[in-house]
Structure 1
Amino acid sequence: MVFGGVSPEHSISCLTAANVVAAMDPDRFRAVGIGITRDGIWTRWSAEEILDLRSQGQLPEVPAGHHGTGLRRLDGGTFLVDNDGGGDPEPVDVVFPLLHGPFGEDGTIQGLFEMTGVRYVGCGVAASANCMDKHLTKVLLDEAGLGVGPYAVIRPHEWQTDPQACLERLSGLTYPLFVKPARGGSSVGITRVPGPEGLVAAIEEARRHDPKVLVEQGLSGREIECSVLGGHNGQPPRASLPGEIIVHNPEGFYDFDAKYLTDDALATVSVPADLDEATTRTVRETAVKAFQVLGCEGLARIDTFVTEDGQVLINEPNTMPGFTRTSGFPLMWQASGMNYRELVTDLLDLAIERPLGLR
């Protein structure tokens, strides 16, 4: 498995890796790890060392000091090979890329897996890239007739050459607005803007993380998410029972702190969501259709808003959602009858079944 990485979600990836290793069926799988430091160095980890990340008493990270390593395509397959030439190459049957955010969930490392000829869990190159870019996601969903909320995009050259024109273009949206890095995750760099006076600062904050910025009109409704798994052997994708994000502060939103650093004071995840049967069915059908339209494989969490008039509008997909035991993705599958170990096994089996080749 690969974890850590250079994105702001480095520590969450480490927690995810420890939980996944703990859940793996030891009768079927043997885990070895590639821990990527915050500055991009690839290092080799044993399963026991990955498990120890859970006991650090704080958000863990990949330190320097482990043997440098990498994936290499050799005669007979793909292997984990230490940079100093020490030890025997370790054969790799499938990679579980437990990386969140840029340079892990955006198609970059998926391209490397394709080049090294190794199977891997999750979406392919194009689907990963399109789902990471919130603007491209909305374009694809809208083209397929799936509902998305009002939004606008600020491209790097537009803000650099004529920021006033960008602001005038945003005047057609109704406050509050949510200003986001177009390609990011875990709500890093997102600002809720209640009025025009905070808009420029919010755009500049988003641009610190990504020069391309997405501005969304705030939606009135319930935040409902649904976990999707690919189907085995050509079968259709499967949708879990939905969950609901309940934000307790009406002026707040489900940001990084609410997701990972606090107790339930800011927000809670209610699984399964308290929805009527018809709405539950619509959310699940919408999630599966979005998964297919976006070309997803393996897994994704589809986040939606259910409006007061019953519309289901897609907010965004997440192709490698949080995978700690308290994260929404495994909790929704648990509510649907699949425990954590079964979920990890299912994902690895899906990756093993999938043929090699560009996607």
Structure 2
Amino acid sequence: MNENGKQKLRVGVIFGGRSGEHEVSLNSAQSVMRALNPDKYDVIPIGIDKNGRWLTGDVVGTLTEGKNSSRPATLLPDPQATGLMQLNEGENVGITSVSQLDVIFPVLHGPYGEDGTVQGLLELANLPYVGAGVVGSAVGMDKAIFKQVMTASGLPVLPWLLVRSSEWHKRPYKIIEQIEAILVYPVFTKPANLGSSVGICKCNNREDLQAGLDEAASYDRRIVVEQSANVRELEVSVLGNDEPVASVVGEVRPRREFYDYVAKYVSDDSELIIPADLTQEQSDDVRRLAVQAYKAIDCAGLGRVDLLLDVANGRFYLNEINTIPGFTQISMYPKLWEATGLPYSQLLDKLIELAIERHEEKEQLKKSLE
């Protein structure tokens, strides 16, 4: 109970995970947990280590400092057991309840968290959760499927092609020839299912391309190769379920060659321009495209839509949607909403409200033919 006698919501914040974005997730989750209003919420940290083991207790200490201060835990795919369970070992082996949960706030970036896998577990457990469902998460995570959905929806993307890692390893010279026949240097190589610019390389020649394909193949079995262009990098934060709204438009001007992992989370030396220097018409077009892309993949709750403005011809291209965008202090998603008039803590309130609203709507749907 809070001081007004109201029951506080028990919010399970899931973070960590066994993807290449583990550390980014830790930073985002700590920012989220610090900002959740303690008068409204009881926060239950749920950590996942790099081996995929779920933990409860002092999870941050365990995952960031190597402390032995947490215990194995799990969520069951059982609607009758909507709580965090502790796995007991030794003489008291078994499962005991740690806390009931009212809503889950996943702060998992990349595979095994942002790609629909955890969302599937939460659907089975019948728990409300922040963010997109299974389909929206999976499509937003997979760069190749996302581009195919954009094209099918009549939304613009840069020229690209898909390379399977197995084909690259078997027939490297044939793959190089195929790429060079369709695209011109420079090109980008990207793992299809990874975010935060992990594994992305800009390739200016054949030697770079070989190295970029090797790098991307070390992270994923599918690789997106995309045409580079002289572009401005724009980002829009979208919020909502069936009637999403877009924030002001921001622009990223990286001081590195492109907006890579180091620029996003380590160096803090990229120039973030909010709002972007666009005409009103351009800004309206970008926000409209962002909402259209968001709806096209059936996103929900939140998503940061990244677009490109071709300097040569003035055209906009959809780049990707991050369905669980970064929430660190230098992350664009909350910065854009703050500039639009929605402060960080109120943004978290709205996301939790949207999660519960969406869950209640799904509970009204028929689940049998009777």
Q: Normalising by the residue count of structure 1, what TM-score does the alignment of the two structures yield?
A: 0.90
Deviation at 1:156, TM superposition (A): 3.4
Report whether the alignment pairs 1:337 with 2:341.
yes
Query: Which amino acid in the other structure matches residue 38 of structure 1?
Result: K
Evaluate the alpha carbon distance shift between residue 198 and residue 103 of structure 1 in structure 2; reply closer, same or farther with a 3 A threshold: same
Instruction: Give the secondary-structure state (helix, strand or coil) at the position aligned to 2:351.
Output: helix
Deviation at 1:98, TM superposition (A): 0.3
Q: Which residue identity is paired with 2:299?
A: C
Give me the whole-angstrom Cα distance separating, in 1, the residues matched to 2:218 and 2:16: 21
What's the TM-score once normalised by structure 2's chain length?
Answer: 0.88
Q: CA deviation at 1:11?
A: 1.2
What is residue 274 of structure 1 aligned with on the other side?
277
Name the counterpart of 1:294: 297
Q: Which structure features the higher share of strand residues? A: 2
- How many Å apart are 1:261 and its aligned residue? 1.2
Q: Confirm or deny that 1:163 pairs with 2:166.
A: no
The answer to whether the Cα contact below 8 Å between 2:57 and 2:69 also exists between their aligned partners in 1 is: no
Match status 1:226 vs 2:226: no
CA contact (8 A) 2:84 2:99 kept: yes
Aligned partner (choices 13, 22, 37) of residue 49 of structure 2: 37
Partner SS state of residue 55, structure 2: strand
**Displacement, 1:306?**
1.1
What secondary structure is seen at the aligned counterpart in 2 of 1:241?
strand
Query: Counterparts of 1:213 and 1:147 in 2: how far apart (Å)?
Result: 20
**Cα RMSD over matched residues?**
2.1
Name 1:326's counterpart in structure 2. 330
Displacement after TM superposition at 1:89 (Å): 3.8
**Judging changes above 3 Å, is the alpha-carbon distance between structure 1 residues 305 and 75 closer, same or farther for their aligned structure 2 residues?**
closer
CA distance in structure 2 between the aligned counterparts of 1:175 and 1:195, rounded to whole angstroms: 6
**Partners of 1:325 and 1:261 in 2: how far apart?**
12
Query: In the aligned structure 1, how far is the partner of 2:67 from the partner of 2:76?
Result: 23
- 2:184 alignment partner, SS class: coil
Among 252, 263, 266, which residue is 2:268 paired with? 263
Residue matched to 2:310: 307
Secondary structure at the aligned position of 1:331 is classed as helix
User: How many angstroms apart in 1 are the aligned matches of 2:273 and 2:297?
Assistant: 26
**CA 164–80 in structure 1, closer or farther in 2 if over 3 Å, else same:** same
Report the more deviating stretch, 137-146 or 300-309: 300-309
Runs of 4+ in 1 over 3 A off after TM superposition: 59-65, 73-77, 85-89
Distance change >3 Å, CA 140–CA 74, structure 1 → 2: closer
What amino acid is the match of 1:126? V
Pairing 1:142-157 to 2, within 5 Å after superposition: 142-157=151-166
How many residue pairs get matched?
343
How does 1:79-94 map onto structure 2 within 5 Å? 79-84=83-88, 85=94, 88-94=97-103
Task: Give structure 1 stretches of 5+ with no counterpart.
Answer: 54-58
Partner of 2:204: 194
2:248 maps to what in 1? 241
Alpha-carbon shift at residue 75 of structure 1 (Å): 7.3
Q: Which residue of 2 aligns with 1:134?
A: 143
Task: State the 1:164 CA deviation.
Answer: 2.5
Q: Which structure 2 residue ranges, 5 or more long, are not aligned?
A: 1-12, 89-93, 366-370
2:210 maps to 1:206: no
Larger Rg: 2
Equivalent pair of 1:279/1:310 in contact (CA under 8 Å): no
User: Alpha carbons of 1:78 and 1:62: their partners in 2 closer, same or farther (altered >3 Å)?
Assistant: farther
Match of 1:348 in 2: 352
Q: CA deviation at 1:297?
A: 0.6
Distance 1:16 1:240 in 2: 20
Bigger shift: 140-149 or 7-16?
7-16
Q: C-alpha distance in 2, partners of 1:64/1:240?
A: 42
Deviation at 1:25, TM superposition (A): 1.7
Cα distance, 1:20 vs structure 2? 0.7
Q: Which residue of 1 aligns with 2:14?
A: 2
Deviation (angstroms), 1:86: 7.2
Once the 2 structures are TM-superposed, how far is the Cα of residue 65 of structure 1 from its aligned partner?
A: 4.6
**Percent identity at matched positions?**
41
Cα distance between partner residues in 2 of 1:99 and 1:139:
24
* Equivalent residue letter for 1:245: V
The question of 1:120 aligning with 2:124 is answered no
The structural deviation recorded for 1:163 is 2.7
Cα distance in 2 between the residues matched to 1:216 and 1:259: 20
Q: CA deviation at 1:64?
A: 5.5
* 1:237-264 C-alpha deviation (Å, 9 max, x unpaired): 0100011010234xx1111111111131
Shift of 1:159: 2.2
Secondary structure of 1:102's match? Answer: coil
1:317 paired residue among 305, 316, 321: 321
